[in-house]
A = this chain, B = another copy of it.
Amino acid sequence: MNEVTLADVEAIAIGAGVLGTGGGGNTYMGKIWLKRELKERGGCVQIIQADEVADDDFLCSLGTMGAPTVSNEKPMQGDELVNIVRALEHHTHEKVKAIIIGEIGGSNSLKPLIAGLQLGLPVIDGDAMGRAFPELQMDTFSIGGVPHHPMALGDSYGNVVIFHQLDSALRAEQYGRTLTIDMGGSAALGMPVMHGRDMKKHLIRNTLSLTKKIGDVVLAARKKNTEPSDEIAELCKGHVLFRGKISDVERRTVKGFARGRMTITAFGNSNDKLELVFQNENLIAWHNGDIVATVPDLITLLNLEDGEPIGTEMLRYGLRVAVLGMPAPKELKTEKALEVVGPKAFGYPEITFAPMPGNLL
């Protein structure tokens, strides 16, 4: 993959939704924004491979901080990401040479593409999560020891705040979250900045290409009027965990997160149930009481009507869904990574991560 054109956007948005595991922000909003920018500016977003980047090139990772429930209702003004990159360049006295996708899941995969187009900068094929996660420190850069500062947050009034010095990843998350709530529950995020050598050490490669492949499967299935879950599962080394109807949803936007749980009931057998908990993203699935998938492995709901991935902000009673389980990328399954992205990190100390076989990539 060496570019993203208008023709690619639909597929990438669907694929990003699948890797979003319910979170990462609503892809619809990002999709129409990226399409508009491509139409208005013409051309395409230049995509480069991680290993094409020079060791000394200065890079900035971009995304959004906040609850998906909010990002769905509060679109960006349009120049937040550019403001952030300019502010970080001013602060660091370095020019950004390429954009990193911080989080490939959900709308956060599309925002860096928009910024690349607006800034005339290439975007690197890969990301630091291989999915979506709710908190800042849950990525391979943080796990690998890349500093969190300077970090920037921008709101839709043009305000930009730079976290110049931060003593820990959790502090970045804490102060950033507080300010995000004050900025309206969703804010543009620039972090971490780094040089090519560090990016190459920690990036999960080719995840942008993967979104396109997943999306193409869904779009092809729509044309054939078939249901794409099994084919996506195969592409992502996973399997379909369950099919059924959402029979219960509890969801609250609390402390800047969309938190809750849902129950999915099998068609024609009301005793056969899948239960799921989420914090922005789907975390753990129980099939009739037994755990069948655990974070950091990926759990995604697809709408059986059209294969569209369903964000936790779009859940509602009666939706007919397939639940996909997909193994996490290997970078998320080291002992060090599991301390940050395993079930304990999400408040489930009693649950041990039992990985699905294989790796996403």
Contact = CB atoms under 8 A, between A and B. Distances in A.
A179 interface: yes
Which of A159, A178, A179: most chain B Cβ within 10 A?
A159
A335 interface: no
Contact of A87 (B83, B158, B165, B179): B165
A175 B182 contact: yes
A51 B117 CA distance: 50
Interface residues of A, number: 25
A161 B182 contact: no
Contact of A175 (B152, B161, B162): B161
A171 interface: yes
Nearest to A88: B164
A207 to B, nearest CB: 30
Contacts of A87: 164-165
Contact of A178 (B152, B163, B178): B178
A136 to B, nearest CB: 14
Contacts of A181: 178
B161 A167 contact: no
Contacts of A90: 91, 164
Contacts of A182: 174-175, 178
Contacts of A157: 167, 171
Contacts of A83: 165
A223 interface: no
Interface string A170-190: 010011001101110000000
B165 A158 contact: yes
A161 B163 contact: yes
A166 B179 CA distance: 13
A183 to B, nearest CB: 8
Interface in A248-302: none
Contacts of A41: none
Contact of A158 (B93, B167, B178): B167
5 contacts: A90-B91, A93-B93, A157-B167, A175-B183, A179-B179
